[in-house]
C-alpha cells in the first residue's frame, strides 16, 4: 500500500531525477503555447503561439534569446489565408504533424524580426534575473519602458517570467507579466510542460521541447508565410495585433477617459508611447527597431490622432492597419 502511494505521489510531483540545471538548460528549445484570451472578441476560441528560445552560458551569466517567428516549410494547421489575401493564425490548438516534428528535430529556420535577448545574472539556487529596473520616472514628459526576465525554480520546477513596465513621473505606472510555470519535466529532461499566463487574460498550457540547432531565414530555408519578405503595407498589417491590448492595465475606455481629462496633453504622450510599444511587441528585432524607428514613431503619432480626434476604437485601428488604409512615411523597404 505504501509503495503504491509513493508511486502516485511521484507521478504528481516534478521528478527530481529529471531536474534541469542552468548548464543543462543551455541549448535550443521550441515553445508551444495553447491558450484562450478572455479579453478577445471571441474568448472561447482556441489559440496558439510558438517561438524559439536559446539559452547560452556565458561565464557567470545566462543569456536568454527569444525568437517569436518560427519558420516551417509546411504551415499545415498553422496559418491560413484570409479573405483579404493575408495569412493569419489558425484558431485551433496546433500540434506539429510528422513532417513538422521531423523539422523540429533537425533544426528550424528562424526569422530575426522580433528577436530579443537578455543576459541574466544569479545562480540556480537564488534564481536568474536580467538587470533590475532603473532609478524611476524623473519627468512627466519622458515615457520609459523596461523589461525584466527571470528564471527560478531550478532544478526541479523551472519558472520563466517576463515582466514589463511603462510610465513617467506624471502618469500611472503600467505593468504586465508573462509566466511559464513548469509542472512536469519529461523525456529525460527534453520536455517541460506547465501553465501559461499572460496578465491573467491569456491563460493555458505550454510545452518546452528540445529542438535541433536553428538557422536564420536565408541560410537554407524559409518559404513559409512567416518567413517571407514584407512590403511596407504588409509590415504595418503585421503589427496590428500589437493593438489588441496596450501595455499596462488600462482598458480602452480608461485610455479614452484619460486623453480627454484634465491632463490630456500628458496622457496623449503616454498613449502615443503605449501605441509605439504595442507595435514593438510584434515581430521586430533590435535591428528593425533601429531601421524602422521613424516609421514606428510616425505610425504611433497617427494612431494616437485617430484614437483621440477621430474617435477610432482599437478594433478600428487594427482594421485600418490590416487593410492597408494607413499611409505613413519612414522606414526602410
* Residue ranges per structural domain of the chain: 17-216, 230-322
Q: For residue 333, what is the DSSP state?
A: -
User: Cα(255)–Cα(291) distance, rounded to whole angstroms?
Assistant: 29
Q: Shortest CA distance to 190 belongs to which of 211, 213, 210, 212?
A: 210
Cα–Cα distances in angstroms (integers) from residue 134 to residues 117, 147, 257, 301, in the given order: 18, 10, 29, 26
Cβ contact 275:246 at 8 Å: yes
Q: Report DSSP letters for 203-265, one per residue.
A: EEEEEEEE-PPPEETTSS---SGGGS---HHHHHHHHGGGGSS-SSS--HHHHHHHTTSTTHH
Distance CA 305, CA 56 (A): 43
- Let me know if domain 17-216 sits in CATH 3.30.750: no
pLDDT given at position 210: 96
Q: Backbone dihedral region of 218: left (phi > 0), alpha (psi from -120 to 50 degrees) or beta?
A: left
Give 71's pLDDT tier (boundaries 50, 70, 90). confident
Model pLDDT for residues 291-310, shown as the tens digit of each residue:
777 888 889 999 999 999 99
What's the pLDDT at 145? 63
Residue with the bigger pLDDT between 142 and 323: it is 323
Tens of pLDDT, residue by residue over 22-65, are 999 999 999 999 999 998 888 999 999 999 999 999 999 999 99
Look at residue 111 and tell me whether its pLDDT is greater than 80: no
Q: How high is the mean pLDDT of the chain?
A: 81
Confirm if 296 and 280 have CB atoms less than 8 A apart.
Answer: yes
> Would the pLDDT of 105 be above 60?
yes
228: pLDDT confidence band, cut at 50, 70 and 90? very low
Higher pLDDT, 72 or 119: 119
- Cα distance between residue 160 and residue 278, in whole Å: 22
Q: Which residue has the higher pLDDT, 173 or 125?
A: 125
The pLDDT, as a whole number, for residue 190 is: 94
Cβ atoms 73, 129 nearer than 8 A: no
pTM above 0.85, yes or no: no
Amino acid at each position: 500500500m505504501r509503495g503504491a502511494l509513493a508511486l502516485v505521489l511521484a507521478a504528481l510531483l516534478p521528478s527530481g531525477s529529471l531536474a534541469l540545471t542552468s548548464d543543462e538548460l543551455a541549448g535550443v528549445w521550441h515553445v508551444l503555447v495553447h491558450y484562450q484570451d478572455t479579453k478577445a472578441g471571441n474568448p472561447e476560441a482556441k489559440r496558439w503561439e510558438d517561438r524559439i528560445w536559446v539559452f547560452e552560458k556565458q561565464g557567470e551569466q545566462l543569456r536568454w534569446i527569444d525568437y517569436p517567428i518560427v519558420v516551417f516549410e509546411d504551415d499545415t494547421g498553422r496559418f491560413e489565408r484570409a479573405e483579404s489575401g493575408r495569412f493569419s493564425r489558425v484558431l485551433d490548438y496546433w500540434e506539429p504533424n510528422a513532417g513538422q516534428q521531423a523539422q523540429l528535430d533537425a533544426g528550424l529556420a528562424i526569422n530575426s524580426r522580433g528577436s530579443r535577448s537578455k543576459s541574466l545574472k544569479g545562480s540556480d539556487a537564488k534564481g536568474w534575473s536580467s538587470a533590475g529596473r532603473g532609478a524611476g520616472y524623473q519627468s512627466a514628459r519622458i515615457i520609459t519602458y523596461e523589461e525584466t526576465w527571470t528564471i527560478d525554480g531550478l532544478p526541479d520546477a523551472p519558472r520563466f517570467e517576463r515582466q514589463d513596465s511603462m510610465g513617467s513621473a506624471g502618469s500611472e505606472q503600467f505593468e504586465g507579466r508573462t509566466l511559464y510555470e513548469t509542472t512536469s519535466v519529461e523525456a529525460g529532461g527534453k520536455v517541460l510542460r506547465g501553465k501559461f499566463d499572460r496578465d491573467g487574460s491569456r491563460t493555458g498550457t505550454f510545452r518546452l521541447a528540445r529542438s535541433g540547432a536553428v538557422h536564420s531565414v536565408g541560410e537554407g530555408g524559409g518559404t513559409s508565410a512567416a518567413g517571407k519578405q514584407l512590403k511596407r503595407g504588409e509590415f504595418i498589417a503585421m503589427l496590428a495585433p500589437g493593438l489588441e491590448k496596450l501595455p499596462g492595465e488600462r482598458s480602452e475606455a480608461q485610455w479614452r477617459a484619460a486623453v480627454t481629462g484634465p491632463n490630456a496633453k500628458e496622457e496623449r504622450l503616454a498613449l502615443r508611447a503605449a501605441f509605439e510599444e504595442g507595435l514593438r511587441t510584434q515581430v521586430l528585432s533590435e535591428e528593425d527597431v533601429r531601421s524602422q524607428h521613424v516609421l514606428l514613431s510616425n505610425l504611433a503619432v497617427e494612431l494616437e490622432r485617430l484614437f483621440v480626434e477621430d474617435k477610432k476604437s482599437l478594433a478600428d485601428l487594427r482594421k485600418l492597419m490590416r487593410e492597408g488604409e494607413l499611409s505613413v512615411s519612414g522606414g526602410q523597404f
